[in-house]
Every structure is written in structure tokens, then in C-alpha cells.
Amino acid sequence: MQNPRCIVECLPPVEQARQLFDQFVQAIQPTLGVLHIPSVRVLMEETYRDISEGKEPSFPVVILLLSIYAGSTLVATSELLESLKATEKEARIAFATFTRLAIAMLDYPSRPIAPSTVALLAITTLCHVLTHADGFSDKIQALRMRAIFMARSMQIHRLDSPKGQEERKRTGYEIVEIEVQRRIWWHIVSSDWLISLSQGPQEGSYLLHPKHMRVNLPSNVDDESLATSGPDCGLPLTRPTSMSVFILRVQFAEICRQIVDAFSSMFLGENELPDYDIVLDLDRKLHNVLDSMPNFFRLDPEHVQQSRDIITERPYLAWQRIVGHLGIYTRICRLHRPYHREALVNPRFAYSRQACLHFAQRILDLRRTMDEASSTVGMKPSNYWMVMQHVFFAAMVLASDVSMNPGSPGADRRKQDVLIACKMLEQSQRLSTSLTEAIQRNTQTLMSILQSTQKEQQQPPRANLGASSHALPTSQGGAFSTSSSRFSQGEATRRVSAAEADVQQLHFSDNATTAGNNHMAWDATSTQPAGEESWGQLWSDLFAAAPEIDDIQWDLLLNDWDLAIDTGF
């Protein structure tokens, strides 16, 4: 930028920066895993030292730090806010500021970001944080593509080819940098494969093929031991490290890719389901992921008890364990969902219905246990978009079954679980515009079905769930555009001059009153509170109307769940 001081003025003071960094390590890094924490901590300290000496900081390093600070403010706890003497409102403003400036710096035409390991870390971290905040916007997909292109330009996809290994032996290399590149690559790849088995427009396709890469998995070793270890120093997966869940995530993603390949004709709209024996074989592979997990990742009571000492020593394992199982349970439901309704008329598919119900119920049960596990690592499950979308998916599975099978054993419990989940979702809508919009779109589908059965022809529009007098932010103005006078100086994502104006005015402890309609600022006033006629009430109405709903309407409901499944484990 023409005036680098504008960047410096937007960074939090060094003491606050250290607290934010620690919060990121505790709450975000366990679900990301690509950063080598000791190295990044050194970069942060060096950056602030350079600033104190009047030197211009490195663009890629600052983008990485801004992404880290954004992640910390996204999941800021009351304890952190108290320590920083900040309010939740100020944290939301800081989050919006950090993310907008990071993207403005990435897009600054006069200072293009050269490919580097730090630049890749910055893009990957920013993408991960924004996905937690608001799902899969076009901007996030563009960041993903940018990371892929940059990694390819650096030949990371050939990192461990014979030629690449020979070159390293000849010229020497830094163990930490090579390991971080492996982490970045496999995070990109596994996310690509997980997204391919997700509800949404990207479902059924992936970008990266395993035959087009030669990259070893990262070593199963803690960051603190990596720099002093030799090559190929990884421990067996039975030994817990900060990288254990990362490696398991890659293995799970490979099965998701296999499922997409097996279901290719269905994803292309050919109305042809795979042979059921193939489905059962894929189901066995998913269950094998659960059965072959190390003891400290198992969720049965016996192994939970056996791993208490390990969890006490490494509290993040409890959070990783729950999030990992949520991802697997959701994919098992997704595998069997096409056969769920068929089980009503064909006993051969009864197992699919049982699997959908069992694992959807497990998802909701796990959500109830997350508060205790998350408190040990300083986070709130309701702040995580990926957690709430798992709840959304499970609620849809159970609700559809109750509606199709109102008299089946256990239907009353499932009905109550759905309504409890609905209440939880309504309370979390203000944290995620995309979650709100997904609920609204599915609500419109529900209302259409109910109206066609003549159950709601005389009812007025539902408050907050159909057309609302408070318009939601749209992508037309840019995912990070703003409208308040405080932030009205232009699009920070496209014009650096606007970003400079922003950073000259905004600080972590800024007392600005609002972030306008920027949906990355979690503006709680952008939608009305859920009214008496809520999404849960609509499901209650649907339960009553179920006997009159025909097969075509059920296909519309079950095949149009417009909410993408996360890239978490």
C-alpha cells in the first residue's frame, strides 16, 4: 500500500495480539492443523518488532496474522473479552475489520502476493475461518481455488515425487517448511473431497485426483518435536499428537471421494441409484473408520473412560473427537438418504432407514455433549457454522421420517428431538446469514407442501422465515460490502484505497456502533427474532399433514436440502 502505516494501525497491540494468537491455537487450530505454531509465533513477534523499529511488515505475514486474529474474534469467549476489555459488539466489528483488510491485501493489484508457503498458510487459514463463520460463499470458493493454483505453481503436488526427493537431497531443505507444505496440500485435497459429498451445487464433483499428485501424508508428530526430528519421523496413529486427527481426516476424505465416484450417475441427475451391494460396501468402509480409530478418538463409554488421562493432558482431543464423529455420522446419513423413503415399500432397504435414524439421533445427542467438551478449549459450539449445519441435517432426517412414519416406534421421541433442534437452530440464526437463508429456503419448500395439502391456505406468511421487512444481505453488494457511515468508504475487498480508509479509522477496541449489513459482522439486527410461528411450528404442521403428502412432494423435500455439509472431519 502507498502508506504501510494504515496496516499497522489496524493490527491489535502486541499484548492483545498474543492473547488472540493463544485463543486461535486453542480454539481454531485443532480443526485446521496446517500451522506450525512455534514458527508462526516467531513470525508474529518478528513482525511487531519490525513495526516498533519503523520497518514495513511483510504483506503475506500480516495477512496470516489478520486471519488468525479474525478466527480468534470469531470464537471469542467471555473470558477473552474480559481480558481484552472488549465487548461482543467490538469483537464482531474487529472480526469484520480483520477479514476485510486481509482480503483487500490479497487483492491489492499493485502489490501482488507472490507464491510462498506463508502466503498459502494465510489463504488457507482465512478460508477456514470464513467457512466457520458463514459457510461456502463465492468468495470462499475463490479463495480455495486461489490456494490450489498457488500450490500447483509451487509444484507442491509433486513434492514427494522421485525428482522432488532427489532435488531436496541435493540442495538441502527445511524440515518444518516441507511438513507445512504437506499439511497445506492435504488440507486442500481432503477439503475438496469432503465438499464433494456435501449438499449443495458442488456435490458430486471434485477438483483433485489422487493420481495427479505425489505428496506424502504429514508426520504424526507434535509441532514442538518437528524441528528437532529427522525426515519420516512420524509416530503411529495409536500415539496422540496434534496431527492425529488431521491424518484421520484425510483417510476419511478418501472414502467420501469413493462414494462420489460410486454415485456419479445419481449426482448427474440420471435417476439411477448404485447397486445396493456397493452402498453396503461403502457403509462398511465408513464404519471401519469408526472402528479403527485410536482409543482416544473412540466414543463408546469404555474407551472414553480409558482415555480420560490423555484427554486431560490434551483437552483439544475431546473437541476433535466429537467434531470428527459428527462429520462421519453425517456422511453415513448422506450415503443412505436416497434409500430412506424406499425402505417404506421395499424391506431390502430397511437397513438404510435404520442407519439414517440411528446416526441422525447420534448427531443430536453429540451436540448436547459439546458444551462440556468445548469449555475446556475455550469455544462455543453455537459459534461454529459447521456444527449447526450438522444439527440442521440431522433434524431434516428425523423430521422426514416422523412425517412419513408418524406411527412408527420411537416417532414421538424423534418428533421432540426435531423440535428441540429447531429451537437451537433458530437461536443460532443470527450468527450465520447462510444458515438463516438455508432455513428460509427449506421453509418455503415446507410451506409450499403444506399449502398444496390445503392445510395452510388461510394462514399469513410466517414471521422471519419467508419474505421479511428486514432484507438479508446478498452477494450482489459483495460478500464484504458495508453500508454504515462508519464503513462507507468503498469496497475494501476491491479497492485498497477503501481498505486504507478503513484501517485508519478502525482498531480492535473501536467503539463504532454498527457494522451495517455486512454479514461477516454478525449483525444481529439484520433479521427479526423468531416469532411464534417458527420453523419448528412448520414441522409440527407438516407432521399433521404427512398422510396427505405424495411421493413427488417428498422427493422435492428430501432432494432440495439447500445447505452444504462442512469441510470438517
DSSP state of 477: G
**Region for 478 from its dihedrals, namely left if φ exceeds 0, alpha if ψ lies in -120 to 50, beta otherwise:** left
Per-position b or e across 346-365, b if 16+ CB within 10 A of its CB: eeebebbbebbbebbbbbbe
Amino acid identity, position 509: S
Q: Give the model's pLDDT for residue 388.
A: 74
**How many whole angstroms separate alpha carbon 231 and alpha carbon 219?**
9
- Contact in structure between 217 and 182 (CB atoms under 8 Å): yes
Nearest to 378 by CA among 68, 38, 80: 80
Q: Within 10 Å of residue 275's Cβ, how many Cβ atoms?
A: 9
Amino acid identity, position 438: A
Q: Give the model's pLDDT for residue 479.
A: 26
Which residues lie below 8 Å from residue 302, measured CB to CB, with a gap of 6+? none
**How many whole angstroms separate alpha carbon 312 and alpha carbon 425?**
31
Nearest to 115 by CA among 168, 181, 50: 181
Q: Give the model's pLDDT for residue 504.
A: 39
Averaged pLDDT, groups of 10, the chain, 569 residues long: 63 95 94 96 96 91 97 90 92 92 89 95 95 74 95 97 92 91 98 87 90 96 80 83 96 95 82 87 95 94 94 92 92 91 90 94 86 61 68 83 82 82 67 57 57 46 34 28 29 38 40 31 32 57 64 57 50
Q: What percent of the chain has pLDDT over 70?
A: 69
Q: Give the model's pLDDT for residue 471.
A: 29
How confident is the model over 260-315, as pLDDT tens digits?
999 887 777 776 788 899 999 999 999 999 999 999 999 999 999 999 999 999 99
Q: Give the model's pLDDT for residue 484.
A: 29
How confident is the model over 34-59, as pLDDT tens digits?
999 999 999 999 999 999 998 989 99
Q: Give the model's pLDDT for residue 267.
A: 79
- The model's pTM: 0.81
- Contact in structure between 569 and 448 (CB atoms under 8 Å): no
List, as one string, the DSSP characters of 393-430.
Answer: HHHHHHHHHHHH-TTSTTHHHHHHHHHHHHHHHHHHGG
Q: Give the model's pLDDT for residue 344.
A: 83
